[in-house]
Amino acid sequence: MNGGPRGDAGAPSIPGPAPAATLDPARRAPEPMEPWTRVRVVFGKEGRLRFLGQLDLGRTLERAIRRSGLPARFSEGFNPRIRLSFPCASPTGMASRCEIVELQVAAPAGAAEVREALRREMPEGLPALSAEPVPAGERLFLEAAAYAARPREGEPGIPGGEEAVAALLARPEIPVERRGRRVDLRPLLLDLRAEGGGILVRLRFLESGATARPEDVVGALGAPAAGFLFERTGMSARLRGPRGESVREYGGPA
């Protein structure tokens, strides 16, 4: 038996610390979260800017937010963009008094700062009308919208006026064709009035997705939609969140 001292080859191995590069990223301490505030902005869409498509509208609003210096939240990735949400945009070409965009800003900025900054920076034709904070988890569902259809200059308007409106409202069904499908306007038609050769109409939005457009109503009254200018004047939205539900009016009465 060899009683001499043991060499290094026989010494027990003691593992050293793992290299930093091999540490599991999932076990690293999380970075502190930014205190973001979600803000809902109501703005108008007027004049030539009513022809902006959704992508161009988003770019226009993003430029205004960047110019304002608001601490807005961006998306991640190689091409970060300001996070914008349009929960109920009106169709391209339609004027509106109640467009909605939602964004997030870092504290201490809030709804008041967003409203004032966008009032300064939004281009003419996209006026910032109001802003409000949005509680965490709240979602917006459009229930009804009010529209005005006014005859273009030189166009005759609705043939029959008030009599035509009364006759349409007396019908049990109002079938129209939309995108190759037959749609009954009657259960979607909440209110209809003749005014100045045009109409004021209020339409329902169902949770199933069924809806109608004011052009459909004008056509059902026997007039060509191309002879009218359309504007969304107000809307009614149901707000659902962890604290329950409520109904909110935007723009004029819907």
Domain boundaries, the chain: 36-134, 140-251
**Mutual angle of helices 54-68 and 111-121, in 10-degree steps:** 110
Quick one: pLDDT band at residue 34, thresholds 50, 70, 90?
Answer: low
At residue 33, does pLDDT exceed 60?
A: no
Give first-to-last CA distance, the chain, whole Å: 101
Q: For residue 21, what are its two tokens?
A: 């590069």
Q: For residue 197, what are its two tokens?
A: 């050769």
6-10, 51-55, 151-155, 164-168: which has the minimum mean pLDDT?
A: 6-10
Quick: pLDDT tens for 189-207.
999 999 999 999 999 998 7
What pTM, to 2 d.p., does this model score? 0.82
Quick one: pLDDT band at residue 219, thresholds 50, 70, 90?
Answer: very high
Q: Which CATH number fits domain 36-134: 3.30.70.580, 2.60.40.1890, 2.60.120.10, 3.30.420.40?
A: 3.30.70.580
Contacts of 50 (CB under 8 A, 6+ apart): 92, 93, 94, 95, 96, 125
Compute and round to an integer the Cα radius of gyration of the chain. 29
The DSSP letter of residue 38 is E
Enumerate the β-bridge partners of residue 151. 228
Q: How many H helices and E strands in the chain?
A: 4, 10
Quick: pLDDT tens for 115-149.
999 999 999 999 999 999 999 999 999 999 999 99
Q: Output the CA–CA distances (angstroms, integers) from residue 199 to 44, 92, 177, 223, in the order listed.
A: 21, 20, 20, 11
CA–CA distance, 142 with 13 (Å, rounded to integer) = 69
Q: Output the CA–CA distances (angstroms, integers) from residue 237 to 6, 110, 191, 207, 208, in the order listed.
A: 83, 22, 17, 12, 15
At residue 241, does pLDDT exceed 50?
A: yes
